Structure 1
Amino acid sequence: MENYKKLIVWQKSMLLVKETYRLLRFMPKYENYSLSDQMRRSVVSIPSNIAEGAGRNSSREFAHFLSIARGSRYELETQLLICIELNYLSEEQCKEAFALINEVGTILNGFIKKLNLQ
């Protein structure tokens, strides 16, 4: 993959990074080094693994890194659900993040399938 920045899935995951960081401003300060930190690592992992996979030599390697990105996507979704359960964030506040999470997940799944068929 010559330019990972042109991939829609990378672009959408970068929007998810921005949205997650926006939401983190509403988190309690005492969560700054636990749940909030884990959420930052999860969301940053998504576009980072897409970019790393794009720089690899084979479709198989690329699919592997996309799978890691998909795992981070599920991790972030779970962490947002935890935030809602703990009343740190509301469902309404997380609406855009969940929409992006679902969109990124759908694209990743399709991309992984396509690469595994090559």
Structure 2
Amino acid sequence: MVDYRNYNVWKLSHQLVLKMYPLLHCYPDYELYNLVDQIRRATVSIPTNIVEGCGKDTQKELVRYLYIASGSAHEVEYLILLSKDLGYLNENDFNSIQNDIVSIKKMLTMLIKRIRETMDSKN
């Protein structure tokens, strides 16, 4: 098991969740159980899957959860683009979140690569 708090990608993804929650209050009420709920679940899924993977017994399992977190990051990336195009997010908020998402995706890719290389060197 690994302490998830040691990973910068977890820290950044946790900060993204904290950044998204207040922004979601600005969406129209009719989006509460549609787009808002989907963004909230996908955003929270990123750090949650990192944490869950860190609690597993093997590196292989950790990598699997990191891939799931990466998928959620890609999902959030599209959902915030949709939100901007629908006029729910202003350009500044969109750019800030987009920058965070790009960083998270890169960090997850590098972490997965590093863990896989470690796993391959042991075989």
- TM interval, shorter chain, is over 0.9
Contact 1:4 / 1:54 at 8 angstroms: preserved in 2?
A: yes
1:88 aligns to what?
88
Hey, what's the Cα distance between the residues in 1 that align with 2:88 and 2:52? Answer: 33
- In structure 2, the residue matched to 1:19 is 19
Q: Which amino acid aligns with 1:46?
A: I
Deviation (angstroms), 1:77: 0.7
Amino acid at match of 2:31: E
Where does residue 73 of structure 2 map in the other structure?
73
Asked whether the 8 Å contact 1:19–1:96 carries over to 2, the reply is: no
Identity percentage of aligned residues: 38
Provide, for residues 25-76 of structure 1, a one-character-per-residue CA deviation record: whole Å limited to 9, x for no partner. Answer: 2211111111000000000100000000001111111010000000000001
8 Å contact from structure 1 (residues 23, 94) kept in 2? no
Greater CA drift, 40-49 or 2-11: 2-11
Give the unaligned 5+ runs of structure 2.
none
The alpha carbon displacement at 1:114 in A equals: 1.0
Instruction: Give the TM-score taking structure 2 as reference length.
Output: 0.91
**Count of matched residue positions in the alignment of Structure 1 and Structure 2:** 118
- Spell out, residue by residue over 1:4-36, the C-alpha distance to the aligned partner (whole angstroms, 9 max, x if none): 112111110000101111221221111111100
Q: Which moved more, 1:81-90 or 1:40-49?
A: 81-90
**TM-score, normalised with respect to structure 1:** 0.94
Q: Deviations over 1:78-109 (max 9, x none)?
A: 00011111111122222211111111111100
1:9 corresponds to 2:9: yes
- Choose between structure 1 and 2 for higher RCO, CA contacts under 8 A separated by at least 6 residues: 1
User: Which of structures 1 and 2 has the bigger CA Rg?
Assistant: 2
Between the aligned partners of 1:2 and 1:89, the Cα distance in structure 2 is 36
Amino acid at match of 1:80: I
Q: Which runs of 5+ in 1 are unaligned?
A: none
2: distance between equivalents of 1:23 and 1:67?
26
Task: Name the SS of the counterpart of 1:34 in structure 2.
Answer: helix
Moved over 2 A (4+): none
